[in-house]
Structure 1
Amino acid sequence: MPASADADLTTEFERLSLPLADPFTIARGTTETAENVLVQVSDGSHEGIGAAAPSTYYGETPATVEAVLPDLLEVVEEVGDPHVRQRIDRELRERVGANPAARAAVDTALADLAAKRLDVPLYRQWGLDPAAAPTSSFSIGLAEPDETRRWAERAVDEGYSILKVKLGAGRTAERLAAVREGAPEATVRVDANAAWTPAEAVAKTETLSGHGVEFVEQPVPADDIAGLRRVRDQGAVPVAADESVERATDVPSIADAVDIVVAKLQKCGSLRETRRVAEIAQARGCEAMIGCMVASNATIAASAHLAPLFDYADLDGSLLLDADPFEGVPMSDGEIDLAAVDRSGTGAVEVDE
Structure 2
Amino acid sequence: MNTTSHTATPLFTTPDTVTRKMGKFTLRYRPYTLTLKHVFTIAAGSRSTTPVVLVELEYDGVAGYGEASMPPYLGESHESVLAFLNRVDLTAFSDPFLTEDILTYIDSLAMKNTAAKASIDIALHDLLGKLMGQSLHRIWGYNPKTTPDTTLTIGIDTPEIVRQKVREADSFKILKVKLGLDTDKLMIETIREVTDKPLCVDANQGWKKREEALEMAHWLAERGVIFLEQPMPKEQVDDNAWLTAHSPIPTVGDEAVQRLSDIRSAHGVYSGINIKLMKCTGLREAHKMAELARALDMKVMLGCMTETSCAISAAAQLSPVVDWADLDGALLISNDVYQGMTVERGKVVLPDRPGIGIAFC
TM class by shorter chain equals over 0.9
Structure 2 contact 31–52 (Cα < 8 Å) conserved:
yes
The match for 2:6 is: none
The match for 2:32 is: 16
SS at match of 2:109: helix
Structure 1 contact 3–70 (Cα < 8 Å) conserved:
no
Q: Give the deviation of 1:20 after TM superposition.
A: 0.8
Q: Give the deviation of 1:313 after TM superposition.
A: 0.5
The match for 1:58 is: 74
Establish whether residue 88 from structure 1 lines up as the match of residue 98 from structure 2.
no
1:25 is aligned with what amino acid? Answer: T
The match for 1:188 is: 199
Structure 1 residues 145 and 230: CA distance shift in structure 2, 3 A: farther
More helix by share: 1
Establish whether residue 48 from structure 1 lines up as the match of residue 58 from structure 2.
no
Structure 1 contact 216–240 (Cα < 8 Å) conserved:
yes
> CA-atom RMSD, angstroms?
1.4
Establish whether residue 268 from structure 1 lines up as the match of residue 284 from structure 2.
no
Q: How many residues align?
A: 344
Establish whether residue 319 from structure 1 lines up as the match of residue 328 from structure 2.
no
Distance 2:266 2:242 in 1: 12
The match for 1:347 is: 357
In structure 1, the gaps of 5 or more residues are none
Distance 2:352 2:173 in 1: 26
The match for 1:163 is: 175
TM-score, normalising length from structure 2?
A: 0.92
Q: Give the deviation of 1:285 after TM superposition.
A: 1.7
Per-residue displacement from partner, 1:194-242 (whole Å, max 9, x unpaired)?
A: 0001232112112211211001100000122211112112233221110
Distance 2:159 2:265 in 1: 37
Structure 2 contact 51–71 (Cα < 8 Å) conserved:
no
Distance 1:60 1:202 in 2: 33
2:353 is aligned with what amino acid? Answer: R
Q: Could you tell me the percent identity over the aligned residues? A: 33
Distance 2:355 2:84 in 1: 25
1:189 is aligned with what amino acid? Answer: C
Structure 1 contact 18–321 (Cα < 8 Å) conserved:
yes
Choose which of 101, 107, 130 in structure 1 pairs with 2:144: 130
Structure 1 residues 67 and 128: CA distance shift in structure 2, 3 A: same
In structure 2, the gaps of 5 or more residues are 1-16
The match for 1:152 is: 166
1:350 is aligned with what amino acid? Answer: F
Structure 1 contact 10–77 (Cα < 8 Å) conserved:
no
Q: Give the deviation of 1:34 after TM superposition.
A: 1.7
2:118 is aligned with what amino acid? Answer: A
